Each structure stands twice: as structure tokens, then as C-alpha cells.
Amino acid sequence: MQAASFTELSLLIAIGVLISIFMRAIRQPLIIGYIITGVVVGPTVFDLIKSGETIEVFAQFGIALLLLIVGLGLNPRVIKEVGKIAGLIGVGKVIIATGVGYGVSKALGYDDTASVFIGISLSFSSTIIILKLLSDKKEQNRLYGKIAIGFLLVEDLIATLVLIGVAAMGRGSGFSVYDLQTLVLKSVLLVSGLLFVRWLVLPRLNRMIAKSQEFLFLFAIGWGLGIAALFSKAGFSLEIGALLAGVTLASQPYAQEIASRLKPLRDFFIVLFFISLGSHLGLSQISTVLPAALLLSALVLVGNPLIVMSIMGISGYTKKTSFKAGIAGAQISEFSFILLLLATQLDQISTEVLSLITVVALLTIAVSTYVIIYSDQLYVLFERYLQLFERRKVHREHENTKHYELVLLGYQRGGQEFIKVFKSLKRSYVVVDYDPLIIDTLESHQEPYVYGDVTDLELLDEVNLQHARLIVSTISDFAINDFLAKWLEGVNPNAVFICSADTIEQAAELYESGASYVMLPHYIGTEKMSSFIRKSGLRKVEFRHYREKHLAYLQTHLDAAAGL
């Protein structure tokens, strides 16, 4: 059984690779290729999936890791910033889209029950699709991205209530006030526990967690999957649990390092989610439901963005922010499958309705993927028609990405001296280091810092080295300095890059790679001492004075190190 599952999984990945190569060759989004892979290996075409539960488990790992990483980029300030508008959009979109979907479904000839389920299915946007595309575009921290994530979280909460209500009606008991009270109590207990850990437990464990990169990686996976499983067991979606697990860690100094290390693992498992999603897209009744599916797909692709843009326009957001947040929700959610599958099992709707929403999902996910990827170009195309969605007084987006003119990579080897120089220049600066002891020192001295490995390209993007004017590396590793010199030469050739080397040969190679100046500590010390001898001769009293000055200088560094 295990060998069969391994063979099956390997075959799915191999087919996915082949289809992805084709998608890259024709310059199409890889997400579409993953979903097509699922359709190909699913029952609609070759029916290769026999270990469905194994694939589903791996898919859930991908969902949890994706939401965990998104949560690491958020923090309570972000939630406070977009909480109100996210709530308005989440509730307003569900109510309006459900009502419109119900009316259109009735006009198409469906009965009241089917029309309600269709309307609800059309009102929820796909958390996974949106977050994957936002992450790929690195725009989850843009204002529209934060608003989109916010209203998705609200929709997930509403979806949880709807799912519990449908399950209760299937038992014949209905959704009682007691059920709602129980759900609220669970949410209060879970969130209170996370707040307790965030404020009182994690700060005491920072040094232990960040000291070992291997343990940091293991801790992040255990924390994210554990909290996701806890929320799922309590009756909420694992998406909510994983997102809040990330938010809990977002303010910790090692958050960026966790995110960068988890992304390769996320990318593998999330591929299996999209393959699994495609495999569920049964298209046996496509000819019967296609006309209705095309109409409902147009309703989702146009109607849902209009609802979001209208609410945001009334609330005072710019037309561009409203447009990009609106089109982010132009597809239906994976929750729709769960809801309609449950309703089908309870004989509340027919399999035709499930097939209808399946086709709508395929169409809207495919189209919205392109729409989100090319949102900036589409905005330019439609800008003249969007004035309707903007008031005179608007909330302007403030760019959150910090631009540091001066960057110090590594603090231990003479970093304190460079910080003094940076302060005297009165320009913005930041220190990058991955030693938790150094991070503690910088934090206690209120120095700006970023925790992480300088060989991580995403970390370099976060620090925005592309716009820095001076980068100083006190790191002694030649390979790292050589990598940085070559990388900066490609992305920021006007920056001054100062680094160090142990030998003349290494210095020559670093100059060849693009370094502006290479420090050779042994030669600098030799040159300084030779100059002192020429100036002071062989008088020991002069050496004694020089020794005392040097000891005083070293003592200042020892005092700084004592803060560790």
C-alpha cells in the first residue's frame, strides 16, 4: 500500500512537471497547469488517483503552510488598520452576492433550496488561490493585499457557521443559539491562548528558538500545523488556525527567517493542493450545465469585484486599491465544493447543482488567475471608467517597504564602529544578523535590525538592498561576500559595497566581482603599527600610552558585549 502510494504520488508529480513545462513554454500561469494536471489524473480523464486520502493530507499541509507564511507577514497593527473595511466587505459581499445568486438561479429554473446553495457558493472567494497569487507577486503586504486577506478571513468565519448550520439541518436539529454560543466560547478561548503565548511565552523563548536554525525550522512547522489542527478540531477551518499561528509569530525577530525557510516546503505541498482540486472537478454533465455555468461565472467575475469596489469606494479608498482588492475575489472558493458535497450527501440538492458549481469554479479560477496576475495592466485599461468608485477624500496607500540608505551585514566584527559612522551621517540604516544574541543586543539598544541569513534573496528584497547606497559586510566568509558583490553588481551597481577578506588573493577576486573596497584586517593592523613605530620610535613610554588608549577602546566593546 505504501509503495503504491509512493508510486502514485511520484507519477502525479512527474505529470505535473511535464504539464508545467508546457505552461512555461506558452507563458501561462503555473497554477492553471497544476489544476489541469488534476483534471488529467482525475476520474474525468485517466483516473490515476487511488490514494485520494494521502493526496488530501499533503494538500492540507500545503494550505496550512501557505496561510502560516501569510500570517508571518501580518501583525496586530495590520489587523487594526484593515479590520473595519475587511469586516464590511466580508459581510456585505456574502449577503449581496448570495441574494443576487439566488435571484439569478431562480430565473434559471432552480428551486428555492438549490438557489440558496448556489447563491452562497458564489459569495465566497478562494483563500488559497488569492493568497498564492499575492505571495507570488509579493503584494500581500500592499494595502489592497491586506484588505483582501482580511475579508477572506471574515468569509472563512462565515463559511464555518454556514457549514455547521447545514450539518445541523442534516441531523434534523437545526442551528441553535447553543451552537453559536459554543462556537463563540471556543474562539475566545483559542484566541486568548494565542495572545498569552505571544505576549508572555514567546519573548522568554526567543533566544532558545532562534539559536539553532534546524530547531527554528522544526518549531515553525510544529507550531503552524499544531495550531491549524487545533482550530480544525474545534470546528473552525484549518486556514484560520494556520493564519493566526503565523500572526502570533509575526512580531518575533525570527519571523522573516521562518518564512524564507518554509517557502520551498510550501511550494511543494501547495502543488498537490491544486492537483487535488483539479481532480475533483468532475465534468461529466458539462454540456447540460454549461450555459448556466457561463452566466454564473460572468456574475462572479464581474459582480463580486463590483460589490467590493462599491463598499471600498463608499469607505473612501482609492479606485486603484478598490479595483485590485475587488478583482482578487473574482472566483469561487474551495469551500463551495465542501458545502455542496455535504448538501448532496444530505439529499438537499442534486448532483447537477454540484456539477454546475464545479464548472463555475474551473472557469472563475482560470480567468481570475490571469486577472490577478495582470491587474496593473487591466487597471490602466479601465482606469477612466473607475472614477465612480472613488470619493474626493480618499485613504492613500502609504508604501510600507522601508528604504535603508546604509546597510550593515553582520555586527560582531567591528559593527559598532560602523553604526557610529552611520549615525553621524544621519541617514537611515539597518543591521542584518542571524545570531540571536546579537539580535538581543541590538533590540536592547533600540537599533534597527532584521534577523536572517544574507544569502536568502527574499531577505535581501525585504531589506531593499536594490536601493541602498552603502552596504558594509563584516562577514568573514569569502563565498558569501563574493555572492553579495556579484548580486549587487547586477541589481544595484551604483551602491558602494565594502567587505573583508583574509588573503590578498581573496581581495583580488572580490574586486573582480564588483566590491568597492575590501578590508584586509591583518594588513590594516600591520600598516597602523608600522606608522606608529615610525612616528614614536622605540620609546616604551609611548607604547604604554598607546596601549592604555587601545585598552580603553576595547573596553567600550566589552561593555557593549556585556549586554548579551
CA atoms within 13 A on the CB side of 288: 12
Q: Report CA-CA distances (Å) from 69 to 57, 144, 156, 267.
A: 19, 18, 18, 11
CATH number at residue 420: 3.40.50.720
459 shares a domain with 341: no
**How confident is the model at residue 409, as a pLDDT?**
93
Full domain range(s) for residue 105: 2-389
Examine the domain organization and report whether 481 and 432 are in the same domain.
yes
* Domain-embedded: residue 54: yes
Q: Are residues 80 and 153 in the same domain?
A: yes
For residues 372 and 454, membership in a common domain is answered with: no
357, 411: one domain: no
pTM beyond 0.75: the answer is: no
Is 289 a member of any domain? Answer: yes
- C-alpha 130/C-alpha 137 separation (Å) is 11
CATH of the domain at 120: 1.20.1530.20
The C-alpha cell of 539 is what? 620609546
Q: What is the pLDDT of residue 266?
A: 86
Q: pLDDT at position 393, please?
A: 59
Three-state secondary structure call for residue 126: coil
Give the residue ranges of DSSP H helices in 172-249.
177-196, 202-211, 213-233, 238-249
Pair 226, 235: CB distance under 8 Å: no
For residue 224, the model assigns a pLDDT of 92
Predicted confidence at residue 213, as pLDDT, reads 79
Q: How many domains does the chain have?
A: 2
Q: Is residue 542 included in any domain, yes or no?
A: no
Q: Are residues 239 and 270 in the same domain?
A: yes
Q: Are residues 452 and 485 in the same domain?
A: yes
301 and 448 together in one domain? no
Using alpha carbons, select from 497, 474, 476, 490 the residue that is nearest to residue 406: 497
Q: What is the pLDDT of residue 59?
A: 85
> Which residue matches cell numbers 439529499?
347
Nearest to 134 by CA among 293, 143, 354: 143
Tell me, yes or no, whether 383 and 430 share the same domain: no
Q: Could you tell me if 442 and 511 lie in one domain?
A: yes
Pair 412, 383 in one domain? no
pLDDT one digit per residue (tens) for the chain, 564 residues: 566 678 888 898 899 999 999 988 887 778 888 888 988 888 877 888 877 788 888 888 988 888 888 788 776 666 677 888 999 999 999 999 999 999 999 999 999 999 999 999 999 998 888 888 887 777 777 788 889 988 988 888 888 778 777 766 655 555 566 666 787 888 889 989 998 988 888 888 877 887 787 888 899 999 999 999 998 888 787 878 888 898 898 878 788 788 878 888 888 888 888 888 777 766 666 778 889 999 999 999 999 999 999 999 898 888 888 999 999 999 998 778 778 877 887 788 888 888 888 889 888 988 999 999 888 889 888 988 888 887 765 555 544 456 789 999 988 777 888 888 898 888 899 999 877 678 777 877 888 888 777 877 767 877 888 889 999 999 888 988 999 999 999 999 999 999 988 888 899 999 999 999 998 877 766 667 777 777 777 777 777 777 777 677 667 655 655 554
pLDDT, position 327: 94
Sequence-distant (≥ 6) Cβ neighbours of residue 518 within 8 angstroms: 498, 499, 500, 501, 506, 507, 510, 511
535 within domain boundaries: no
Establish if 32 belongs to a structural domain: yes
Give CA–CA dist 22/242, Å, rounded. 33
Residues 378 and 410 occupy one common structural domain:
no
Distance of CA 135 to the CA centre of its chain: 5
Which residue type occupies 46? F
